[in-house]
Amino acid sequence: MTLDRLFGLQDKCALIIGATPIGIATQSLFIEAGATSALSDPGADPEAIANAVDQFVAEHGKIDILVYAATRTGTYPLADTTLDQWDGMQDYNVRGAFVAVRQAVRHMRDSGGGAIVAVSTMGSVHPVLMGNAAYGASKAGLNAMIRAVALDENDHGIRANTILPGAVPVGDPEAGAVRLGGPAMQPGRLMMGMGSCEDVAAGILYLASPAARFMTGQILTLDGGFLIS
C-alpha cells in the first residue's frame, strides 16, 4: 500500500511563482509526487505575474495548486532604511503575492477549487534578526492576506495556508543589506541547526496535498526549534 492517496499529486497542475531555492526544491518534489508543475519567476511586476498564471492555465487547462515562493530579503538598520527598500519588500512579498493569488483564485473558482501555499518566514511572528522591520512586516502582511483568502474562498473549495521557514537558505539578500546580528545568530538558538530547502518543500507538499484537506487559514512553522529555544 502506498500513500499516494494522501500525498500524491497525480492529475494536479501546480504553478510555483519564484525561482528561489525553496521554489526550485518544491517543483522537484511536486514532480516526484506526480504533478504537472511549472516554475515561473516574473519578479514583482503585476502584469508579468498575472500573465504567468494565465499562461499556465492556457497551457495546462487548469491550476490546482499555486505556491508563492517569491521572496525579497535583506536586513537594514531601521533609521537608515529607505522608502525604496521598504517598498521593494512590500512589492515582492505582499503585492506580488496578492496579484498571483487573485489571478489563481479566478481560475480555481471555475474548476472546482484548489490549494494555495505562500512561503513566509519565522521572522513574521517573532524577531529573528535585527534590521528586519521591512522584511518582517511584509511577510506578516502576507500571513494576514492568506488567512483572509482562506476565509473568503472556502465556499469555492479553495484552501490557503502559509509556511514559515526559519534557518533555511532563501536566496541572496538585496544589495545594500547588512548583517546586524540578532537572536538567530546567538549560539544554541538554532536547536536543530540549519534546515534545508527540501525540508520546506516537504511541508509545502503536505499543505498542497489531499493529506491537508481539512486544513486552511493556518500557519505551519518549520524553524528547527528556534521558537522554543
Please answer whether residues 125 and 143 qualify as being in contact, where contact means their C-beta atoms are separated by less than 8 angstroms.
yes
Lowest-confidence segment of 106-110, 174-178, 197-201 by average pLDDT: 174-178
Task: Report how far residue 31's alpha carbon sits from residue 210's, in angstroms, rounded to the nearest whole number.
Answer: 16
pLDDT digits (tens, 9 = 90+) for 122-164: 999 998 889 999 999 999 999 999 999 999 999 999 999 999 9
Task: Report how far residue 103's alpha carbon sits from residue 117's, in angstroms, rounded to the nearest whole number.
Answer: 14
pLDDT at 1 over 60: no
pLDDT at 178 over 50: yes
Task: Report how far residue 194's alpha carbon sits from residue 162's, in angstroms, rounded to the nearest whole number.
Answer: 20
How many Cβ atoms are within 10 Å of 182's Cβ, its own excluded? Answer: 16
Half-sphere exposure of 17 (CA within 13 A, CB side): 37
User: Sign of dihedral through CA atoms 201, 202, 207, 210?
Assistant: positive
Print the domain residue range for 215.
Answer: 4-228
To 5 degrees, how large is the angle CA 229–CA 123–CA 147? 115
What pLDDT sits at residue 104?
98
Three-class SS of 206-223: HHHCHHHCCCCCCEEEEC
pLDDT digits (tens, 9 = 90+) for 52-78: 999 999 999 999 999 999 999 989 999
Which CATH number goes with the domain that contains 37?
Answer: 3.40.50.720
What pLDDT sits at residue 127?
87
pTM: 0.95
How many Cβ atoms are within 10 Å of 33's Cβ, its own excluded? Answer: 18
User: How many structural domains does the chain have?
Assistant: 1
How many Cβ atoms are within 10 Å of 48's Cβ, its own excluded? Answer: 14
